[in-house]
Every structure is written in structure tokens, then in C-alpha cells.
Amino acid sequence: MMRLFHALVVGLFLAGVVHVGSLLAIPSLAPRGPYDRLSALPADGRFVALPDDGANAKLLAFSDPSFVVAACRYDLADGPVTVRAALPSTYGAVAIHERRGAPFYALTDKAATNGTVEVVILRENDVAAAEEDETAQARPSIRIVSPSDAGFVLVRLFAQAPSARPALKALAESATCGRSTTPTSTP
Amino acid sequence: MRLTLLVMIVFAVAAVLGLGATLRAVSHGLPIGGLTIGPWRADPDIGGLGADPYLRAGVARRGEAPLAYGDGVAFEARTDDAGRALDAACDYTLEGDLPAARLWTLSLFSVEGRGLETALGRRGTSSAETVRLVGRPIVVELSQTAKAGDWIQLPANGAFVLRLALYDTALGTPLARRTPPQLLAVKRGACR
């Protein structure tokens, strides 16, 4: 009887270990995380609007239907990536998410100069190189270090009415997230 | 023989309890933490890299791209004010005032987070669409049949989730979290 009790105590202890281990493993093992879901779109290296209907509609769970969303998946293996997006003053935001879906940086249209925002995403190792390249610029670019090599950027524009959606979709897809040409110089 | 049996008991208890606790925590969320106002619940910490492992696992499982800190805070309600699960067979009235935000949207989702299919195709309302009377709170009607005022059609049947998102608000900051404001009351009306 005593040995059964001991076995249960050891089992409880191991259950705690299993719980913590499985919880920490979920983000890397989940097959349908937000980054994987976006693979249904041709969104590698360019922005593609999430469709309103069809098989790819509602690709991201709990995606606000009042917003037009365009997504771009980036990969920093070949160097930093520059995101440039036009955000209308009705409300627009650029959100940068790491590989497992957690957002680590966001800008709204309040931060826009001349209606556009520009952000450079880079790896930790590339920060020093980017700072050396720093030349006098009319507008200093914002540099963000990504915690993971891969990730995705969402451009989210508020649509006041359904009739505004087609124009906003075109605007959201006009955003770019290409390889940075160093040194980045904007007039 | 008895030792083998004991070892099997140990591993069975560990696997069932450990994985069961993980499944429960990831699909229902933790009962503590977050920002709970009436039936509404938000996890503002989800909007940054400081999110705890429970929030991260939930994001990966739901396939959601959560709102970032500087962007907004999203509340979810799965029950009405009395704690009864939301059901498309019933009418609901949402009424109240909302804290300061540049913009708010209210939308309906299935339990898994997909948009709902209704005959009208209108899936929510926002601060740009809703009509407000001077001195009166916001009133939104949810029903399968048409209602006067700001009406959102409910689907033919099933459970649903309400999502109230406030954009460009100070609500998620630690200071504001200590004195939570009121959000919309969810009152159930007649059921069919």
C-alpha cells in the first residue's frame, strides 16, 4: 500500500514535469500556427491581402472583420528586410510578429511621415554592420532586431464601410517588404 | 512483477495528468491573470515578447496573430452577464459605455475563431458604423431576426464568441489595469 502511495507521489511529480515540458514545446510543434497558416498565400517576401471569402478566408483566427489585412513572411537569412507601408489616417498599423506568432513591434499611422512608415528588420548579428553603414539621412530609419530569423509582418487597415475594402486592399498590397539595399538612402 | 506495475502506474499518472493539464490550460486559458471585466476577458500581455508560456501556447494552437501592445487590446466574451454560454438561438442586448480609444470594433466569431456565416453577411460593427444618441450609452442588438437600432444578425445555430477590440488605447498598460473601466453589459433576451 505504501509503495502504491509512493508511486502516485512520483507520478504526480512527473506529471508536473510533463505539463511544463509539453507546454513549452507547443509553440514549436503546433502545425497550424499563424506563420504556417500564411503559407497558403504567396506571401513570401511580398504583401498579399488576406481574402474575404473562399478557401483562404479567415486564415488567421479571430481576425477583425472590420480590417483589411495584408501579410508578408520574411526571412532574415540573406540579410535585413525593409518594410515600407502607406497607412491612411483612418487607422492603420504595421505589426511585426516572430516565427511563433508573438508580436514584437507595432507602429500605427500616428508614427507615419508623409503617410508612410519604414522599418528595417534585422538579426542581432547584423546590428553592428547596419550601424557602421549609417550615413547622413534625411529620415533616420527605424531598426528592429527580430528574435527569430523567420517571421511575418501584417499591415492592418481599418475599413469604415465594406465599400472601402477594395481600395484599402490595393493600398495594403502596395506595401513592400523586400531585401534592404545597403546603405538605405531615402531622399 | 509488482515493480513493473508500479512503474507503469507512475508513467500513466504522469502522462494523463501532465498532458491533461496542458490541454485544459491551452484550450481554456488560465482562470487567473489577464484583465477580466464582467464577461469580457483580455490578455494584454499577449501583445509582446513578455507573454508567458501559457499565452504563447494558446496563440500557436488557435493560429491567431494577436494585437501588439501599441496597437490595441482585444476582449473576448463567451458568456452573458449571468454566466450562461452565448447561444445563437437567443437575443442579446449589449449596452454601456466604452473607455477612451481611437476606435473600437465588435465582431462575432465561432468558438474556434472563424467568422460566422449569416444571410446578411454583416459580421460586426464598429465605432464608425454605430449610431449614438446624445447622452445615451452604446446599444447593440444581437438577434436572428431584424431589430431596430444597431443590429447584428446571429447565425442559424450554435455557440459564438464576441470580440470587442479597442485600438490605440491605454487600457492594456499596467497602470490602467489596476482600475478597470466598465465595458458593454451582455444581457440575454428571449430564446427560441
In chain B, whose CA is at the least distance from the CA of A158? B103
Query: Which of A71, A103, A99, A100 has its CA nearest to residue A85?
Result: A71
Please state the rounded mean pLDDT for residues A20-43. 87
Contacts of B26 in chain A (CB under 8 A): 23, 26
Residue B91, C-beta contacts closer than 8 angstroms, at least 6 positions apart? B141, B142, B143, B144, B147, B188, B189, B190, B191
Residue in A36, A103, A161 nearest the CB of B48 = A103
Does A104 sit within 8 Å of B17, measured CB to CB?
Answer: no
pLDDT attached to residue B70: 83
The C-alpha atoms of residue A102 and residue B163 are separated, in whole angstroms, by: 19
A167-182 tens-digit pLDDT:
999 999 999 988 876 5
Per-residue pLDDT at A161: 87
Q: Spell out the residues 6+ positions from residue B33 whose beta carbon is closer than 8 angstroms to its own.
A: B43, B52, B54
CATH classification of B34-51+65-191 is 3.40.50.300, yes or no? no
Low-confidence residues of chain B, pLDDT below 70?
none
Neighbours of A45 (CB within 10 A): 14
pLDDT tens-digit readout, A74-107: 998 888 899 999 999 899 999 999 988 889 999 9
Q: Tell me the nearest-neighbour CA distance from A59 into chain B, angstroms.
A: 8
Inter-chain CB proximity B14 and A14 less than 8 Å:
yes
List the single best residue of B7, B41, B64, B127 to mutate versus A (max A Cβ within 10 A).
B64
Residue ranges per structural domain of chain B: 34-51+65-191
Nearest to A79 by CA among A139, A125, A131: A125
- Output phi, psi for B112, to 5 deg: -85, -5
Whole-number pLDDT of residue A184 = 45
- Contact state of B71 with A63 under an 8 Å Cβ cutoff: no
Nearest beta carbon to residue A106 from set B11, B56, B71: B71
E strand or H helix that includes residue B45? none
Task: Provide the whole-model pTM.
Answer: 0.86
Q: Tell me: the pLDDT tens digits for A102-149? A: 899 999 988 888 888 999 998 888 777 777 666 655 566 788 899 888
